[in-house]
Structure 1
Amino acid sequence: MTAITLATACAVIFGTADFFGGLATRRSRVLAVVVLSQLGGMLLVVALLPILPGHASTAALLWGTASGVAGAFGIVLFYRGLATGMMSVVAPTTATTAMAVPVVFGLVTGDRPSPLALAGVALGLFAVLLVSREPGGWAGRPRLGPVVAALVSGAGFGGFFVLLKLAPADSGAWPLLGARLASITLVALLALATRRGLRPAPGSLRVTVVAGVLDMAANVLYLFAAQRGMLTLVAVLVSLYPASTLLLARYVLGERLSPVQITGVGFALGAIALIAAA
């Protein structure tokens, strides 16, 4: 499979994982959902290690651990921003920063997409901004604290993508094992420090595990896409995942999409088409 195909599939599965994660957080504590879903994802990657091509190495585990730390900080700060600020500001700020970091890194380190692909990158950036916007959002003046949290959170998510890309190309899924061990440890320590329980609410365990398994499946697809293609293009396609979350919310839960979000979904499809045609 090509990097573009892998990255597009990754975005669809990432968005589906977020949909199930959102269902889980409606029923249970956020930190419990994060830890238990990531445990489910770790079980999947352990099962895949003997099957997928790749070699274990210290470098693979260390790059994976670093990416897991960045991702864990991203998650914690994202939820903090959502809790203290306007979601309509925090969500698109986080999403666009998370995409901008690997795009800039890729361009600085030598990625040279074609003009058509760069047009797709620009359209994708705009699409992420639109689909992440809450209906009726951006009303009022946002406070600085949540915006800073969103920017740092996005940098953490972007760092996760960059650090996984830096793992040895022949490492297979081994970096993801290091990433999961690191993120689970950090979030569990956070729960312990804040005295928050990790026991899932009744009826939430199954959907939490499904979210974690899908999230890890998406991570595997991202890792293989990043190993096969330019980070600048792969990161943009993966970052379009909110579009699939929105569509699932629309057709499964009956949630209404704003005209801005519908436009964003259309732009996301256009970005995929431009990058695939390049």
Structure 2
Amino acid sequence: MLAVLIGLAGALIFGSADFIGGIASKRISSVRVTAVGGLSGLAVLLLALPAIGGTWSSKAVLLGAISGVSGSLAIVLLYACLAIGPMSILSPVTAVVSALVPALAGVLRGERLNGIAYVALALALVAVVLVGFVPEKGAVRPSLKALGMAVASGALIGFFLIVIDLTPADSGLVPLVVNRTVNASIMFSVVLIAGLLSRSRPRERSAGGRLPAAGWRPGLWLAIAGGAVDATANALLLLGLRIGDLTVQSVLTALYPAGTIILAAVVLKERIAPVQIVGLVLALVAAAMLAIA
């Protein structure tokens, strides 16, 4: 029961972080958003580390670093596709793929659930599909480029879940601290290289003859907030994996589009179709079944 509640809470917080990151990516590049978010998330985890603790070991550091590399690529692709939109479709596409990859790994590793749990997992995956794919006439469709980025991001997120699940039980927040350190280092290196390359090219002037405005300010605070929220969600995910199964937690985490969709509807006034509402209801039913199982 507790693992299910943690998984659901983490999913909603992940969805909120993705919404914030997608909005920030409309104002500054997704690479910059990921870099800033990695740094702010690292700050949050470092503040929490003394209280939660964790044993530093070579395995925890290595797996944390691997997850940092895969996570960096996944988030860049996710924020980039969300910036293209529509959020309410691309986020669930990523979620389906991110659930299938670790769920398959869990089954291959020998995880066994009862009949009710398997039915619930199937319902949850159907829910994610219904939430994401809007067949109604006039619905906004994603571009092939955005769809491809969403699928790639989902596969990398699934790999990230598998790696985090493999970290030692006594490692606490250590893998996530290493993850964010590697994440921020990679992203800021990319930003620095991109900045140096851009300086070597002539800059275009605006119609008034002045250089166009550039910098970090437009989306800086959103990126900082998104990173802090995402770090919180990752901590809940790690806790859920410690007390629950990879298969269950991966599918529950895949319900994160609910948070994105709700915020997109409230803030951006994106339309929630009836089939998406059915999907959200199925998600709640699946969660209740998992709690019982």
With normalisation by structure 2, the TM-score equals 0.83
Q: Which moved more, 1:208-217 or 1:85-94?
A: 85-94
The aligned amino acid for 2:216 is P
In structure 1, what is the equivalent of residue 17 of structure 2? 17
Which residue in 1 is equivalent to 2:206? none
Q: Which residue of 2 aligns with 1:221?
A: 236
Letter in 1 for 2:4: I
Q: Deviations over 1:7-53 (max 9, x none)?
A: 11111111121222233223333222111112111000011110004
**Letter matched to residue 37 of structure 1:** G
Report the alpha carbon displacement of residue 101 of structure 1 after superposing the two structures with TM: 0.7
Cα distance in 2 for partners of 1:233, 1:40 equals: 29
Q: How large is the Cα RMSD of the aligned pairs?
A: 2.7
Tell whether 2:217 aligns with 1:201: yes
Return the offset for 1:263.
1.9
Q: Distance in 2 between matches of 1:247 and 1:85?
A: 15
Residue aligning to 1:190: 190
Number of matched pairs: 274
Aligned to 1:233, the other structure's residue is in SS state: helix
Change (3 A) 1:38 1:170: same
Query: Which deviates more from structure 2 when the two are superposed, residues 181-190 or residues 33-42?
Result: 181-190
Deviation at 1:103, TM superposition (A): 0.5
Q: For residues 246 and 126 of structure 1, do their structure 2 counterparts lie closer, same or farther at Cα, with a shift above 3 Å needed?
A: same
Q: Measured at CA, do residues 19 and 149 of structure 1 come closer, stay the same or move farther in structure 2, by a change above 3 Å?
A: closer
Instruction: Please give the alpha-carbon distance, in whole angstroms, between the structure 1 residues aligned to 2:81 and 2:224.
Output: 25
Post-superposition shift, 1:120?
A: 1.2
8 Å Cα contact 1:88/1:138 also seen in 2: no
Closer, same or farther: CA 8–89 of 1 in aligned 2, 3 Å: closer
Amino acid at match of 2:127: A
Gap regions ≥5 residues in structure 2? 200-213
Determine the C-alpha separation between the residues in 2 that align with 1:268 and 1:138: 23
> Quick check: 1:45–1:173 contact (8 Å CA) kept in 2?
yes
**How does 1:87-236 map onto structure 2 within 5 Å?**
91-133=91-133, 136-137=139-140, 143=144, 149-195=149-195, 199-202=215-218, 204-236=219-251
Q: Which moved more, 1:119-128 or 1:224-233?
A: 119-128
Secondary structure, aligned partner of 2:54: coil
Quote how far apart the aligned CAs of 1:191 are. Answer: 2.8
Q: Distance between the aligned counterparts of 1:137 and 1:271, measured in 2?
A: 27
Q: Call closer, same or farther: CA 1:86–1:254 in 2, change over 3 Å.
A: closer
- TM (norm. structure 1) is 0.87
